[in-house]
Copies of this chain bind each other. A is one copy, B any other.
Amino acid sequence: MADPSRYDFPAIQTTFPAPFVAHVEINRPKNYNSFSPDVFSSLARVFDRLSEDENVRCILLSGVGKHFSAGLDVKSASTSGPVSQTTEGEDIARRTWKIRRHMYGYQDGINAVERCEKPVIVCCHGVAYGAAIDLALAADIRYCSKDVRFSIKEVDVGLAADVGTLTRLPKIGISYSWAKEIVYTARDFTAEEAERVGFVSKVFETKDDLIKTGFELANFIATKSPVAVQSSKALFDFSRDRTVQDGLLYTAAWNSPMVQSDDVKKAMMSGVRKTKSTFEKL
């Protein structure tokens, strides 16, 4: 079992409800789980640790309480951070430079979910606005409950989304026409609409059902060979961004040692014998 004391960071709660499964929750329910600076930096630290934790094979990501997250905590963003500090007469180049560094920091929190070696299942419920969408898009599998209210809110605060939504949305296999309408209007969209276009792959009646089935999926993935599952994630995301030819070259370099794994023999054997394999840690 993973050691919970290594995951004690502000604003993010990490638990280990089943063998090889982690549950990461945004933990600011009084603030609609909005993204304070802590949320971004804790996300990076938690997911980078989970990525190398041999006791974790699959991760469920959701919010404590009713809502997944209302997005950027505007109040904390406007009272701290370089965006807020509009010092009179400050040089524009220097201010812009600081903001850019700041954005890299925010992007890094979200990217940590994508670069995490283990699959991440995100469960969206209640409000899922703005940065919550950026976060959801960095996960592998998107589920939601019926009550969810999605919105790519940034345009409504005078911004273009800058921590990943505009970058990942054209690559998740949904209608580009729909995606642009959703972004330009900042309008809400429902669970039903999200499922129809392929934004989420399943919808559940209640948050409870959502989390329950999410864990069933996580547990199921956790029984598979971690060599196989984690290699699949790595090769998927590399290939998405490059030519088929580069994807194939990388796959061959990556996979040629992996197929020598004991997991292959075990898995084949248990396929034949109809037994269940237990795979070593990775």
Contacts and interface: CB of A to CB of B under 8 A. Distances in A.
Number of identical protomers? 6
Contacts of A261: 91-94, 158
Interface of A is mostly: helix
Contacts of A64: none
Interface in A242-256: 242-256
A179 to B, nearest CB: 7
A174 B262 CA distance: 33
A227 B111 contact: no
Q: How large is the interface on A (under 10, 10 to 19, 20 to 34, 35 or more residues)?
A: 35 or more
A200 interface: yes
Contacts of A242: 241, 243, 246
A154 B239 contact: no
A1 interface: no
A190 B107 CA distance: 38
Contacts of A25: none
- Nearest 10 Cβ contacts at the A-B interface: A175-B198, A93-B261, A167-B247, A158-B267, A160-B231, A158-B263, A257-B257, A241-B243, A170-B240, A100-B256
